[in-house]
Amino acid sequence: MFEEFISIKAGRPGINIRMSKFATFILLLFLGIGIALFSQLIIREISQRNIQIEKHRRTIERLKAEMRIKDKKLKELIEFKKLLDAIKNLSRNTLNKNEQEKLSEVIYKESQKYKYNWRMILAVIMTESNFRARLRSTDPSYGLMQIKYRTAKEAGKKIGVKLKNKYELYNIEKNVLIGAFYLFEQILKFDNVKKGIVAYNLGPSLTKKISDKKKSKDITTAYLKKVVNNYNFLKENF
């Protein structure tokens, strides 16, 4: 019966093997099945490895993102400490510890909100009041950022800070919230940081007249020079 499938004949110089068509078909069938199974195993192995590679890639990306967040927080803490050190050092005769900490918090928060360096707000405070929270000038202007009551009321409405009376401008948080916004508003209005600082001091109308008269991108005033000098001092020392 076996001979129906395969015949073996001895001869010289070797052995001749003949297979029937059916035997050839069976052999090729099993060979094909073997190759298919092996291919599936290879594909499955490759697929599993790709899944593992993707998991590792996602883990690496997640760790990188976490590191970026931690790095950002660390930089923020370093900057906040610099701000707090500057305020403690420069206002030791005018503000108590709680007031220094409150001022640091509100300045840093507002600088983050308006996307400018905290040294700018602090430089304006140094120029305007030298950290005297209850200063009243002859204008009259009030508090750390020396804001006029009428101006403060108008600016305060835009950011939801209500003032019952002018004496509320002695409140550190309200004064800086309104002052920082008003400064940012002037910078946006003139699309120029230096002109914005001048406008904070002189008002937008007078600043525009000076700017139009000089017909230049930048203008220079004694007030602006003081703010810039204070900013550079803070940058060099804190």
Task: With beta carbons less than 8 A apart as the criterion, state whether 198 and 207 touch.
Answer: yes
Residue 4 has pLDDT above 80, yes or no: no
Backbone φ and ψ of 147, nearest 5°: -105, 140
Q: Is the separation of the CB atoms in 211 and 219 below 8 Å? A: yes
Query: What's the mean per-residue pLDDT of the chain?
Result: 90
Q: Average pLDDT of 102-124?
A: 96
Buried b (16+ CB within 10 A) or exposed e, 159-168: eebebeebeb
Stretch 146-172: mean pLDDT: 97
The DSSP-derived string for 70-98 is HHHHHHHHHHHHHHHHHHHHHSTTT--HH
Under CATH, to which class is 91-237 assigned? mainly alpha
Q: Quick check: 8 pLDDT over 50?
A: no
pTM (predicted TM-score): 0.76
Looking at residue 38, its pLDDT comes to 87
Average pLDDT over residues 109-128: 96
* Structure confidence by residue, pLDDT tens digits, 180-221: 999 999 999 999 999 999 999 999 999 999 888 877 677 889
Residue 2, pLDDT score: 43
Q: Is a pLDDT exceeding 80 seen at residue 82?
A: yes
Say how far apart CA 37 and CA 178 lie, in whole Å: 75
For residues 116-142, average pLDDT: 96
Residue ranges of domains in the chain: 2-53, 91-237
Q: Are 87 and 103 in contact (CB under 8 A)?
A: yes
Q: What's the whole-number mean pLDDT along residues 216-229? A: 90
